[in-house]
Structure 1
Amino acid sequence: MSELRTEEEQIELMKRWWADNGKSLIAGLVLAVAVVGGWKWWQADQQSKAEAASSAYEQLIDVMNKPEMTDEERATAKHLAVTLQAEHDGSLYADYAALFEAKILVDDQQYDAAAAVLRKLNTETESVLIKEISGVRQAQVLWQQGENQQALDLLSTLKTEAYTGNAEELKGDILTEMDDKDAARIAYEKAKAAFNASGVARPVIDMKLADLGA
């Protein structure tokens, strides 16, 4: 009898425990399932977005790589670039799309709009490389607008590594136009050294140095 009572007591204790804790246990299990399910859904959603961004970017590249774009193709490229930035903000796809949009705007001589795109990109991107590229291209736009000193001022503030050669060559081009040959020569020499250090052949710099004369 004592064993029976013990078993009955154990069963009764289990019933009480279940009454006290069963609902919270079920809730916990449901929450765990929901968390796991939510995580899997989030992963699937992120994968889907990444694939969509990749597909749109490939389309953009295909159009931009055409030697000569028709007006319709230019409109398509701009639409793809703008859409990528809107739908995949914060991604590298969006960053590169902004660079392409700026290029299209420059080709259309919409310099103010191009500069605005590049400034926004430079401010918001988390990529050091994109900051370098967008900074140098902002300076190029300023130069094309005839704002030589502003372009030089911007270049002097840029922290470049991968694009040091490009930045210094652009300085040389601007200074040459300003007829400051000595400063231009120094900039070209820095550009040449930077390109050589990175293993990039840039023979046009030797031509630019030669054009400066002795």
Structure 2
Amino acid sequence: MSEEFRTEEEQVEAIKSWWNENGKSLIVTIAVVLAGYFGWNGYQDNQRAQGEAASSIYQQLVNKATKPLSEQTEADKTEMEVVAAQLKTEFPGSLYAQFGGLYLAKFAIEANNFEAAAAELQALVDAGNKGPVTYLAQVRLARVLIQLEKFDDALALVATTPEASFTAQFEEVKGDVLFAKGDLSAALSAYQTARTSAMALGINTQVLQRKIDDLAGAKLANTDA
């Protein structure tokens, strides 16, 4: 309504005319905007509530899972599996669901059920999410595949390090795979790379050093022979 009005009557008539032409669409627009606003707030509230619920369930899982294995009862193990599965089913697509998958794989490994562990970890890798959980799943899956003697598949998972902070883990597992395949020189090189990266990050290198020492000794023995 940009027209310049000369009298109040003309303004009133113009307002009436404009309202008749545009009033309904304006009401609809306002309704949509308000619905969007309150809908978005409702969505945020729902997301917040979902996050709090998932966090609470996850904390229950962590509290039980951090108990020493020797102190965990069969009832504890069953409950942990149920809670981990609950995180996956009730909060799909969330970080908590990914944590649930990692824990289910952990429980399967502890039960020597490597096929089940591999399935859980493969699902996390296949989800295609980039980030620490996926990278950790790759490392753990590679370790499981070593147990299943699927060495080439394991090596493919750790062939390329996704980011510097995971170099130590990827290279150590790469060394484990190469050692299992009998390639001692390549395994030693991978362990040494892992040690260098771990030291730079302030990570304990005792296990890596032991692997390096054992391999160096084995190579020396082979040379002497």
On the 8 A contact 1:95/1:125 being kept in 2, the answer is: no
Q: Does 1:183 align with 2:186?
A: yes
The one-letter amino acid of 2:34's match is V
What whole-Å deviation, never above 9, does each CA across 1:92-145 have from its counterpart, x for those lacking one? 211122111111111112211111111110121423222221111111101112
Q: Does 1:31 align with 2:32?
A: yes
Partner of 1:16: 17
Separation (CA, whole Å) in 1 of partners of 2:156 and 2:19: 74
Separation (CA, whole Å) in 2 of partners of 1:87 and 1:75: 18
What whole-Å deviation, never above 9, does each CA across 1:48-68 have from its counterpart, x for those lacking one? 111111111111111111112
The one-letter amino acid of 1:138's match is L
Partner of 1:108: 111
Q: Does 1:135 align with 2:134?
A: no
Matches within 5 A, 1:116-131: 116-131=119-134
On the 8 A contact 1:129/1:162 being kept in 2, the answer is: no
Separation (CA, whole Å) in 2 of partners of 1:20 and 1:173: 76
2:112 is paired with a residue of what secondary structure? coil
Compared with structure 1, are the counterparts of its residues 25 and 150 closer, same or farther at alpha carbon in structure 2 (3 Å cutoff)?
A: closer
The one-letter amino acid of 1:25's match is L
How high is the TM-score relative to the length of structure 1? 0.86
1:156 is paired with a residue of what secondary structure? coil
1:155 to 158, 164, 167: 158
Using the aligned pairs only, state the percent identity. Answer: 38
Q: Which runs of 5+ in 2 are unaligned?
A: 1-5, 221-225
2:108 is paired with a residue of what secondary structure? helix
Q: Does 1:87 align with 2:93?
A: no
What whole-Å deviation, never above 9, does each CA across 1:170-192 have from its counterpart, x for those lacking one? 23334444444322221211111
Greater mean deviation of Cα atoms: 120-129 or 50-59: 120-129
The CA RMSD measured in Å over matched residues stands at 2.2
Greater mean deviation of Cα atoms: 179-188 or 31-40: 179-188
Q: Which runs of 5+ in 1 are unaligned?
A: none
Separation (CA, whole Å) in 1 of partners of 2:112 and 2:186: 29
Partner of 2:58: 57
By how many angstroms is 1:157 displaced? 5.0
How high is the TM-score relative to the length of structure 2? 0.83
What whole-Å deviation, never above 9, does each CA across 1:149-173 have from its counterpart, x for those lacking one? 4423433255453222122222333
